[in-house]
Chain A
Amino acid sequence: MSIIEEKKTGSNLKNLKVVTANEAVALAVKCARVDVVGAYPISPQTSIMEYLTKYVETENLPIEIIRVESEHSAMAVAMGAAAVGARAFTATASQGLLYMAEMVYWVAGSRLPVVMAIASRAMGAPWILGNEHTDIMLPREWGWIVLFPEDNQEVFDTIIQAYRIADKTLIPVIVGLDGFIMSHTTMPISIPDQSIIDSFIPKNTPKPYALNTENPFTHGNAVSSNLYMEFRYDIFRTIEEAEDLVDQVDREWYELTGRTYGGTIQEYMLDDAEVAIIVMGASSGDAKQAAMNVRQKYNIKAGVIRLRSIRPFPVKRLSRIASRLKCIGVLDRNMSPGLAGMIATEVKFALYELENRPIIQAYIGGLGGKDIKIEDFENIYLELHEMMQGKRKVEKVRWVGLDLSAVEAYFEEV
């Protein structure tokens, strides 16, 4: 029986394991036969490293886990390993990503195919553990491909896809996941046969970038201004062109496992949709439910555009989808202070030249782990529907779930 036939009979749901998204990451790293891991604890990412060290120590796996003294060093470890051709991994979140930032940028400039998981979390001050996407949005300018899955199965699959994409582009890849909402909640996932993974991300490919003593060269030494911009352009172009590659790799994964996530964008109920919400990650499930609800309750033709790839930003796909829509709401779980959410600003740039440009309304919500409910999404659909009918004005940005009375009450008390 071929793999595709197996898929059709549903037997691809074998080797099920009930895991958190963090354990899904750790399992994927193990299945990807990673050589070297830079490990440093930070919530909500920490259990990735706990699982990995447990696998390595109890199963005696040939993975070198270096328990370093900072996130900066965690990424440096991954870089040093990748520079000699090893497969490298690290993970972080929030403050850790900020501390690591210098190395994250350097690895991208070095064109080393490192993969990193980020369990998204808000950043201080004040101290905050809750989920938000501002951290995951920052490296979009740093020369990495940034993918953001929706659930634990997709997290596992996307880590594997990430190594394929990184090896092909020599652009490092971040796989984000919603902190706590996914990192600490379980669902059953199916682990593909190891042979499928080995064939999908082979390790013995030629690595012309790898330092070696037979043909010594210098990695990362100074360049003139005449070359630097050309190197930056190559990163720009490679990530731009990766829009097709991310779609293609997801299709290839489908051929092997029967699972697909739409590549750069997962489209939900968009065939006849007039209004749609652009959303990322775990909230997408609630957005989908809300789309179904408003279709039934109010007969609003609603759909969901789940942005799965932040970089490459899927301008081509999004333009095709948007040209069929009348009104789009963009829900950002991040903010660019005084402007709007970061995805909304990019969506407006991407769609500005569109002939039949839809109305675009920016929303900010869910910062610091504040819940975004299904009713909030339903409300957004109602607002978008009113904008479409001309009954409501578009604003620069609307906040979801903002309750200033709680702050006022606190200051009255003190």
Chain B
Amino acid sequence: MTSIKQLPYEEYLLAGNGSCPGCGLTIGLRNVLKAVGKDVYMVVPASCSSVIQSPFPNSSVTVPLLNTPFAAAAAAASGMVRALRVMGKDSVVMVWAGDGGTFDIGLATVSGAAERNEDILYICYDNEAYMNTGGHRSGATPLGTFTGTTPTGKKENKKNVPLIMAAHKVPYIATASIAFVTDLYDKILKAKNIKGFRYIQIFSPCTPGWLLPTEKSVESAKLAVQTGIYPLFEIENGVFKISAPSKAYLKKEKRKPLQDYFKIQGRFKNLKEEQVKMIEQWIDEMNEEYANLDGKKII
């Protein structure tokens, strides 16, 4: 496992980009690009990442990047990677998409590319809502969350896209978190050298969208793992494996109180007692299921 001191000094995401203070996705992208290196083509659908690149003619990334409409990224990346291979280039083609572009409007496109097992590194930075529009519920938004379109809290729970990807039998799937940078780095490093469709979902807090103090971005991401609400795992060639940062929290008694996670974020302020219970039950069931799957070939 790479230690934090071993992360490369090279920066591919430049300072001075248009992101908000405490932005989770930029922590993610910065470290993802360190792992991928410069031989990469990025494909970015409509998302916060299309805005924080800084306006033309500036660019805050030092790698080639193609912006696409919302639902198009996985397909555009498919065309791009096939073209590059025909031209004899072996570069990584990496989609960098938000949860709206992955869980919702882009899901058919992601599924199509996964079914074809396109040689794409698909990364979803999951900030659990449409944050670029000002914070609106997506299929990634958890139960009870306040957003602009769920003013009294979301009525439905988050869908499990990593397991939907698993149903496509792609060679590599992982969840990661911006609070566990070396785990994230190692997953990207591993995924980079696998051929075929790779799906990595990175938990990325959004300070304005989550009504979260800017200095608590990493803390909230850490708590999401420690409370068991966002377990980190890998599915490599069909084998499910809980990642080191989440290992201890499979056991209920080791988990931190869920309220520690909820209370620092304004987006959970409307949570009703029964909703908290439902979420607790969901976390218990999910972790129990993952504990059962750990080390097994599941697809």
Contacts and interface: CB of A to CB of B under 8 A. Distances in A.
A68 B63 contact: no
| Residue of A73, A88, A103, A220 with highest tally of chain B CB at under 10 A | A73
A54 B85 CA distance: 21
Contacts of B55: 221-224
Interface in B42-62: 43, 50-51, 53-56, 59, 61-62
A133 interface: no
Contact of A83 (B39, B66, B116): B66
B86 A86 contact: yes
B66 A80 contact: yes
B50 A38 contact: no
Contact of A68 (B53, B59, B67, B75): B75
A221 B86 contact: no
B53 A218 contact: yes
Interface in A68-113: 68-70, 72-74, 76-86, 88, 102-103, 106
Given A221-B59, A222-B50, A213 B75 contact: no
Contacts of B68: 76, 79-80, 106, 220
Given A35-B86, A70-B108, A76-B76, A222 B56 contact: yes
A81 B67 contact: no
A404 interface: no
Contacts of A227: 56
A82 B87 CA distance: 12
A72 B75 contact: yes
Interface in B15-48: 38-41, 43
A107 B232 CA distance: 38
B79 A36 contact: yes
A324 B41 CA distance: 56
Contact of A73 (B51, B59, B72, B82): B72
Contacts of A70: 108-109, 112
Contacts of B79: 36, 38, 66, 76-82, 86, 88
B220 interface: no
Contact of A84 (B71, B87, B109): B87
A336 interface: no
B78 A80 contact: yes
B72 A221 contact: no
Contacts of A126: none
A202 interface: no
Interface in B250-269: none
B116 A81 contact: no
Interface size on A, as a range, is 35 or more
A411 interface: no
A217 B68 CA distance: 15
A219 interface: yes
Contacts of A38: 75, 79
A100 to B, nearest CB: 10
Contact of B59 (A72, A81, A84, A217): A217
Contacts of B65: 211, 216-219, 221
A66 B82 contact: yes
Contact of A36 (B51, B77, B83, B91): B83
A223 B56 contact: yes
A79 B63 contact: no
A76 B81 CA distance: 12
Contacts of A211: 41, 64-66
A76 B75 contact: yes
B198 to A, nearest CB: 17
Contact of A80 (B40, B77, B87, B91): B77
B38 A72 contact: no
B80 interface: yes
A323 interface: no
A386 interface: no
A81 B84 CA distance: 8
Given A68-B78, A84-B80, A221 B50 contact: yes
A64 B59 CA distance: 31
Interface of B: 38-41, 43, 50-51, 53-56, 59, 61-69, 71-87, 91, 108-109, 111-112, 115-116
29 contacts: A68-B75, A68-B78, A70-B108, A73-B72, A73-B74, A73-B75, A78-B79, A80-B83, A81-B83, A84-B84, A86-B86, A88-B79, A102-B69, A102-B71, A103-B69, A106-B68, A213-B38, A213-B64, A216-B61, A216-B65, A218-B53, A218-B65, A219-B64, A220-B66, A221-B55, A222-B50, A222-B55, A223-B56, A227-B56
Given A81-B80, A85-B83, A102-B72, 8 more contacts: A35-B82, A38-B75, A70-B109, A73-B72, A76-B109, A80-B43, A218-B56, A221-B67
